[in-house]
Structure 1
């Protein structure tokens, strides 16, 4: 079974003097039912490359949560994941913040946006139509526009107000989506196909 590492949100717990790597529990059954072994990544390991080599993973998901720059240990971990994946040609799926992190890593930038938190919207574009992506959830206050998209990436789908909602690296097996498959009560067939095929290289 292919082993997929998933980055987690980094939470500071008030009154307990601790930080926690927190991952939505719905990711594990979603990936397990697709035939993958899900492994949550820890942000506190100092030598990220040695850590990832020891885990010997087949691919990565950069999950949602934390604005970029607000959780430095997580930023460092995810940069290490992309460095590692770049060198080895491993597949990466960025979800929400994870997609944004891929864009920033590749030299793009973000803008503030309204109307995209705790709502749903329709996707437009040929890729979305061909793969059955229509109405998706949305939980982000920062966004990527065509003009802030890295030159290494290509937009696959947009919302009706022009926000990039899915992207692909031009040379690497890195895919990004702004919606959360794990938050749907019943995962869509399109999301399941995307998760399965991306890590199989199909």
Structure 2
């Protein structure tokens, strides 16, 4: 049997999580993330916030990395003052996940950023964010759907060449692209919905939440890239 690649997924760190009689701080991850990794043929590992100096050693044990969705990136990370509509900071996640992204890029480990993860990838490469956009999170706590249109000739277009309806929930978006990044899909209102790093082996960010749907193609492409990279490393 072929070796299943190990895919690390960053997690939330939240107070007041409840299970049974317990209410404690917990490292959390919506089950859709590991399920899609598993359905795509990978092994899923949760990566709760840790000290940034451990990021390189963590990434060295992985075949691919997913930066999960979550709270708004703290605006100070891209040199902006906070808009009143920007949520409270998640500094432990920002610090840890920026270190993970830097380590993955340095090690050329396949990297997928989802929603917040795509925004953080953009910030890690010197880009900025729009702190509020209308129409991409119409009902609080409810994922909506909207179409995204791929840019021909991109990595994302090779994965999903047609216009696709995707599950989405966000109120921030990419503004100025980070160094080397290319926009590879847009919403019909012009919002950047996917970014990629053509100079790398496999780096993709998507603004929507594939883990909330049934389309496996993005995760299958990640796991395939991870399998290819791990085989090459063993040769």
Task: From the superposition, tell whether residues 48 and 189 of structure 1 become closer, same or farther in structure 2 (CA, over 3 Å).
Answer: closer
CA contact (8 A) 1:4 1:58 kept: yes
Answer yes or no: is 1:83 the counterpart of 2:124: no
Q: How many Å separate the matches in 2 of 1:170 and 1:195?
A: 15
Match of 2:123 in 1: 104
Q: Does 1:9 align with 2:12?
A: yes
1:14-54 deviation per Cα after TM superposition (whole angstroms, max 9, x unaligned) = 8988532210112222211222110000214464236516x
TM-score (norm 2): 0.74
1:94 equivalent in alignment to 2:113: yes
User: In the alignment, what sits opposite 2:45?
Assistant: 39
- What is the match of residue 154 of structure 1? 182
Gaps of 5+ in 1: none
1:182 aligns to 2:211 (yes or no): yes
**Which of 115, 118, 121 is 2:146 aligned to?**
121
**Counterpart pick for 1:194 among 217, 221, 231:** 221
Q: Distance in 2 between matches of 1:78 and 1:49?
A: 8
Residue 85 of structure 1 deviates from its aligned partner by 1.1
In the other structure, the counterpart of 1:26 is: 32
Any runs of at least 4 consecutive aligned residues in structure 1 with deviations exceeding 6 A, and if so which?
A: 14-17
CA distance in 2, matches of 1:45, 1:17: 25
Query: SS of 1:38's equivalent?
Result: strand
For 2:164 and 2:56, the matched residues in 1 are separated by 40
Asked if the contact 2:36–2:216 (Cα under 8 Å) also holds between the matched residues in 1, the reply is: no
Distance in 2 between residues matched to 1:52 and 1:192, nearest whole Å: 21
Q: Figure out how many residues of one structure are paired with residues of the other and give that number.
A: 197
Whole-angstrom CA distance in 1 between matches of 2:25 and 2:36: 26
| RMSD value, Cα | 2.5
Q: Could you tell which deviates more after superposition, 44-53 or 169-178? A: 44-53
Supply the distance in 2 between the matched residues of 1:136 and 1:57 (Cα, whole angstroms).
28
Do the aligned residues in 1 keep the contact of 2:127 with 2:177 (CA within 8 Å)? yes
Paired position in structure 1 for 2:86: none
- CA distance, structure 2, for counterparts of residue 37 and residue 102 of structure 1: 23
Contact kept? 2:119, 2:129, Cα under 8 Å: yes
Deviations for 1:82-138, whole angstroms, at most 9, x for unmatched residues?
121122111110000000000000000110111101321111244466524511111
- Give 2:61's aligned residue: 56
